[in-house]
Amino acid sequence: MAVIDQRITSKYAAYNGDCIEVMHDMPDASIHLSVYSPPFGGLYHYSSDERDLSNASTYDEFMQHYAFVIRELARITKPGRLTAVHATDVPASNTGMDHLIDFPGHVISEHEKHGWKYVARHAIWKEPLWVRNRTLAKSLAHRTIVDDSAYAGVASADYLLVFRNKGDNQEPIAHPTGFTEYAGESPVPAEVAEYKGWTGDQKQNRWSHWIWRQYASSVWDDIRMGRVLPYHDCKDPDDEKHVHPLQLDIIDRVVQMRSNPGDVVFTPFMGVGSEVYSAVRAGRLGVGAELKSAYYRQALANLEAAADEASEHEQPELFIDMDGELG
């Protein structure tokens, strides 16, 4: 495995290297779930490395390279298990006043080409001024509606796209006492609090039923946008535009709903470690690959904190070594 650095523990494995090279040495059907946010097809530039997908010269070239990621994820994912992709519409140019490209739609089509079944889409609401301040998109400036609303835009939702790998799932993703924790801004109603951890007839588990209704919704409107891992210290002097991790509420929901305790959760674009962090805290085994060394170093600091928080979980020592063995 061609990696610059690695850290392997009983709770997580982190690799500083190209995700394609890392996945190439991972055994077939060795992970249960993958969660990640890919480079958004030209919306952001993450590094100057020529292997970075965000540095593709055209959108079509980006999609060609991204297809290798989708194909390898299908190979290493167990039959009937899932991948969750965070995506959004991207501008067709960098002016912020042009038309949009349906990146989520292209993500769906490319997954279907490689045998994945498209099973769910959650729209993640974003406040317009927050998006404007983050992206500086001219289409979201109030001045644009003053000058010419023909070029006015909207704060496009993010989407969490869920796909199931071909084949039958051999181990049910079970929740015998339903959901026990809620990841989101809305408080669980006080009148259902007494049902938390309900071990009786699950039809009566009003706590879990309330959480399930939020998680099963097609629109997630209470994701805490500021609930992200520390990332400010990992910016390099030559960073162009973007360092912003995926919100932990999104990852927590996927991990809770789509995996079992002890499952292997993988992310090919680890960034500062968000997906691995959530997996470890939830008693899963987290594995991540990150090309950029500055992000990787910040991820290690974040994962140390997650491992400390999850120390009460008993987990098997199960990670990929440099020879590609999963033991």
Please report the pLDDT score of residue 321 as a whole number: 38
Per-residue pLDDT averaged across 173-184, rounded?
96
Query: How far is it, in rounded angstroms, from Cα 327 to Cα 321?
Result: 9
Residue 239: pLDDT over 80 = no
Output the average pLDDT for the chain.
87
Range 5-309 classified under CATH 3.40.50.150? yes
- What are the pLDDT digits (tens) for 270-324? 999 999 999 999 999 999 999 999 999 999 999 988 777 765 444 433 333 334 3
Query: How far is it, in rounded angstroms, from Cα 111 to Cα 163?
Result: 8
Residue 3: pLDDT over 80 = yes
What six digits make up the tokens of 93?
């140019």
Of 37-41, 255-259, 264-268, the poorest mean pLDDT is in 37-41
What six digits make up the tokens of 121?
């889409």
Please report the pLDDT score of residue 320 as a whole number: 36
Residue 327: pLDDT over 60 = no
Please report the pLDDT score of residue 110 as a whole number: 97
Domain-by-domain residue ranges, the chain? 5-309
> Which of residues 243 and 122 earns the better pLDDT score?
122
Residue 40: pLDDT over 80 = no
Q: How confident is the model at residue 231 (pLDDT cuts 50, 70, 90)?
A: confident
Please report the pLDDT score of residue 193 as a whole number: 92
Query: How far is it, in rounded angstroms, from Cα 141 to Cα 137?
Result: 7
- What are the pLDDT digits (tens) for 84-122? 999 999 888 655 556 889 999 999 999 999 999 999 999
Of 107, 25, 32, give the one whose Cα is nearest residue 66.
Answer: 107
Check: CB of residue 36 under 8 Å from CB of residue 275. Answer: yes
